[in-house]
Amino acid sequence: MRTQVAIIGGGPSGLLLGQLLYKKGIDAVILERKTRDYVLGRIRAGVLEQGLVHLLEEAGVADRLHAEGHEHDGTVIVHDQTSFRVDFRKQTGTPVVVYGQTEVTRDLYDAREAANLPTVFEVENVKIHDAKGNSPYLTYQVNGTPKRLECEFIAGCDGFHGVSRRTIPDDVRQEYEKVYPFGWLGILSQTPPVADELIYANSDRGFALCSMRNDHLSRYYVQCPITDTVEDWSDDRFWEELKRRLPSEIAQQIITGPSIEKSIAPLRSFVTEPMRWGNLFLCGDAAHIVPPTGAKGLNTAASDVHYLYHALTEFYHTGSREGIDSYSQKALDRVWKAERFSWWFSSLMHRSPDQTPFDRKMQAAELAFLAQSDAQKQVFAQNYVGLPY
């Protein structure tokens, strides 16, 4: 089999890239190691920057997002028993949109299937060959049968554990990482959300987040030791702990119910450089991971897709390699800014085991400054709603 662009990974970044290329008449084949149902079963955050919304519009898959998504004009930040609001529209003129990542992925799969575009599921043993040469290709297996996909470019959208990043030689690849000494315990419940906007809480007991998927589906999180397991947390224990980390007027309004999904996610900041090696390009989690505090994971993957999509379109339509040659630097410039915001916001809102009394005083002073300063609120809002591409 032959194609122009081989995309490894059938998550939202690979699907979005494939759909955008299709709209420009560029052929792409997607290889995914799991089934469609498995991919759609992964529960992820759903706060979308306007840049991602515009890409979904350009890809022709935004109708359901506009019908069912919720625009959020701000967010609430809690410190102990006090709270304040950051008004995104006042500070930037721009909202964010709450629409589940699972729904984004579903819309992209539906569009790909409607256009009869090639997606190969349950692939195994993917290997990248001749990425630095003139004739790159992939080998892989489906049900034990060897396959080969010849191409001109390879987009590695296969996540942190995928083959793409590891294909770049160790003496070329440089990695930067910070592992946080706590995790997020999250539950999904079929209950109405406690508020119309997200609530981020810093309490003496640790971080908490109240978020939503829609009017009848809520997502809540509490910071927990990284050594905890889901079995350590009954639903009753979770709801009790969540309420203890929120002001009483908010806690009293929470409607509880049985969890329909519960998981613990570790937090890390990670970046690999470069994001291009010959004809291989890294996108999304294959190249970088952010802690979820700032809702930047999917959105930073989308900015990678933006740069790569435009670079490949420019090459196929004009023959220019300028976008291809500058892809890694452009993507990394924005990645590091997203990493900075996610690291700062995570450091501000969580209680770390090694925090000193001085560190906690600094957190309180930083939160007070954010509450009182319009200039600081504007900086926060600019980062939260998304920096320009």
Choice among 262, 288, 296, 330 that is catalytic? 296
Helix residue spans in the chain (DSSP H): 12-23, 36-40, 50-58, 63-68, 88-92, 101-114, 163-167, 235-244, 248-251, 297-318, 322-349, 357-372, 374-385
Choice among 99, 200, 221, 327 that is catalytic? 200
337 included as an active-site residue: no
Choice among 72, 262, 288, 350 that is catalytic? 72
Choice among 137, 140, 221, 384 that is catalytic? 384
Residues near 195 by Cβ (< 8 Å), separated by ≥ 6?
76, 210, 250, 253
137 included as an active-site residue: no
200 included as an active-site residue: yes
34 included as an active-site residue: no
Task: Supply the Cα-derived Rg of the chain in whole angstroms.
Answer: 21
CA–CA gap between residue 305 and residue 55 (Å, rounded): 9
258 included as an active-site residue: no
Choice among 180, 292, 316, 377 that is catalytic? 292
What is the SS3 assignment for 358? helix
The CA distances from residue 379 to 50, 70, 73, 214, 239, in Å, are: 17, 23, 15, 28, 33
Cis check for the bond before 274: say yes or no (omega within 30 of 0): yes
In this structure, the strands spanning 153-156 and 174-189 are unpaired
Angle at 322 between CA 324 and CA 287, to 5 degrees: 30
Known catalytic residues are: 72, 200, 292, 296, 384
